[in-house]
Amino acid sequence: MPDPAAVPVPDGFDVNRQEGGQADDARRRGPGRVLIAIYATFALAATARAAYQLSTRFSEAPVAYLLSAFAGLVYVLATMALVRVGRVWWRIAVTAVSVELVGVLVVGTLSILDRAAFPDETVWSVFGRGYGFIPLILPILGLLWLRKTRPATPRSPTE
């Protein structure tokens, strides 16, 4: 019986490497690790704040508090997807971070144009002003990082 280590494996089909290879590993090192830490912090902060607001003051600003809860869930999903390996998780991360960017832009704009609809701030109100505009900058940095660390598409066996 041949030694499994001696059997040649075509590029892109190495069974000993996880899907995505070096790009996925890079997502969890250096700047990727910092990005994940910031997303995890926002996931915890936004979710905890929304849970408190929804349970104690829901009638005061239901739209704002529900948007905070939604933002918290988006941050949780983005954090999970950034930590995971593979093309599917990379796509989920891109989708979550894109939804975050659209949410910040839409809620930020609406919170300036119609202050009555937002009697209390959300994470995304006024483009994240209450959080030092990090909610506006974070998805842009996230999308740039995800673009840089896009997993390689495996080659077909016929190439």
Cβ neighbours of 52 (radius 10 Å): 12
**What is d(CA 56, CA 42) in angstroms, rounded to the nearest whole number?**
21
DSSP string, 89-109: HHHHHHHHHHHHHHHHHHHHH
State yes or no: pLDDT of 115 exceeds 70.
Answer: yes
C-alpha distances (whole Å) from 52 to each of 58, 62, 65, 71 are: 9, 12, 9, 14
pLDDT classification of 120: cutoffs 50, 70, 90: confident
DSSP string, 125-141: GGGGGGGTTHHHHHHHH
Give domain limits for the chain: 22-148
**What is d(CA 159, CA 156) in angstroms, rounded to the nearest whole number?**
6
State yes or no: pLDDT of 130 exceeds 50.
Answer: yes
Q: What percent of the chain has pLDDT over 90?
A: 60
Average pLDDT, the chain: 83
Q: What is the pLDDT of residue 28?
A: 62
| Residues 6 or more apart in contact with residue 60 via CB below 8 angstroms | 119, 120
18-22, 76-80, 153-157, range with the lowest pLDDT: 18-22
Burial of 83 (0-12, 13-18, 19+ CB in 10 A): middle
The 10s digit of each residue's pLDDT in 25-61 is 555 668 889 999 999 999 999 999 999 999 999 988 8
State yes or no: pLDDT of 126 exceeds 70.
Answer: yes
